[in-house]
Amino acid sequence: MFGFILATYISYNYVKYVQDVARYAKIDLPQDADVSGRWKDLTRDYDDEVDLSEKLMLLKWKRKRLVSEASGDVLEVSVGTGRNMDLYDLRPYDERENESTGRSRRRIIRSFTFNDQSEVMAAQAERKFEEMQARRSQIERFRGKVDFVVGDAGIKGVIQRPDGGFDTIVQTMGVCSMADPVSFLRRLGELCRQPGEVKPGRVSAGDDKDGDDGDNNDNMGGKILLLEHGRSYYDWLNRVLDDGAKMHADHYGCWWNKDVGRIVKESGLVVERIKRYYFGTTWEIVLRPAPKDKK
């Protein structure tokens, strides 16, 4: 009986999927068209719509591992509803901590700038942050500066670059929603701390006033941390993604079949690490701004 019910359920969803794909094939929605308007519907519960799929793919764990690398002045673009909000380590620095048991002084987060194109999304993220702060004891609350900015971070002037640039820029599941992701990544590279750039209060790029050496790669500039989804290793799976791309983009506001590898290469940013999961469709990427003589 269980097998019959499961087979019926799978068959029903497959037939529905094929019908929906055929229907969307007739819709005039060019690949990579701007579908950002899908994020502005106040009647939708965006978290509820993606919770199950993210749990099945263990994406929360992957998000947490990635954002654990964030430190200093942090910018999160495409923040959405704030799904990374409770994954950052926002504890104040403890003098008893050291590299072997905790964080160095340079590994703490000093300030946050959260950004999204959608006012609806940014408002939900801000409310989530305030609720998170309220749940914590006074000593555990984040004490740094926090800003929420609505607008396209790819446009110069929308995000104010701090002195010395951002030490970390985070974007999770955002490249898929960009009409021009290459230019967007290049702009993130400009907002990032540049190779050899000295932050205010530091003697050099590799030192600070507290004498903590911090990141061994500090002279390479800040980090851009990405968790994205896109094309697979396999042609058969890419055909599936292509077939369902219009349908997915129209509902969720993202093109799940973008060539993330090509986008990163064309951005000119320095690749520090790329890992791929789920037949290559989920990309974990760490980038650095390119030295000026290599741009």
pLDDT tens-digit series, residues 21-62: 666 666 778 888 888 877 787 778 888 888 888 888 889 999
Q: Where are the domains of the chain?
A: 33-294
* CATH fold group of domain 33-294: Rossmann fold (3.40.50)
Query: In this predicted structure, what is the pLDDT of residue 212?
Result: 39
Burial of 63 by CB count in 10 Å (0-12 exposed, 13-18 middle, 19+ buried)?
buried
pLDDT in tens, 118-167: 999 999 999 999 999 999 988 889 999 999 999 999 999 999 999 999 99
- What are the pLDDT digits (tens) for 249-289? 888 889 999 999 999 999 999 999 999 999 999 999 999 99
Contacts of 48-54 with CB under 8 Å at 24 or more apart are 49/252, 50/252, 54/83
Q: Would you say 90 and 184 are in contact if contact means Cβ atoms under 8 Å apart?
A: no
Chain-centre distance for alpha carbon 233:
22
What is the pTM (predicted TM-score) of this model?
Answer: 0.86
